[in-house]
Amino acid sequence: MLARVAIGSLAKARQAASLCPSALLQRSFATDAESHDDFKPKHAAPAAAGSVEDQIKASIAKDKVHVFMKGTPDAPQCGFSRMACVVLNAYGVRFGATNVLADPAIREGIKAFTSWPTIPQVFVNGEFIGGCDILMGMHDKNELEPLLEPIRKEQAAAAKK
Domains of the chain plus CATH, in order, are: 52-160 (3.40.30.10)
The reply to whether the predicted model has a pTM over 0.85 is no
What pLDDT, in 10s, does the model give residues 119-142?
A: 999 999 999 999 999 999 999 999
Binned at pLDDT 50, 70 and 90, residue 161 comes out as confident
Burial of residue 138, with CB atoms counted within 10 A of its CB: 0-12 exposed, 13-18 middle, 19 or more buried:
buried
Average pLDDT of 73-89? 95
How many beta carbons lie within 10 A of that of residue 160, not counting itself? 5
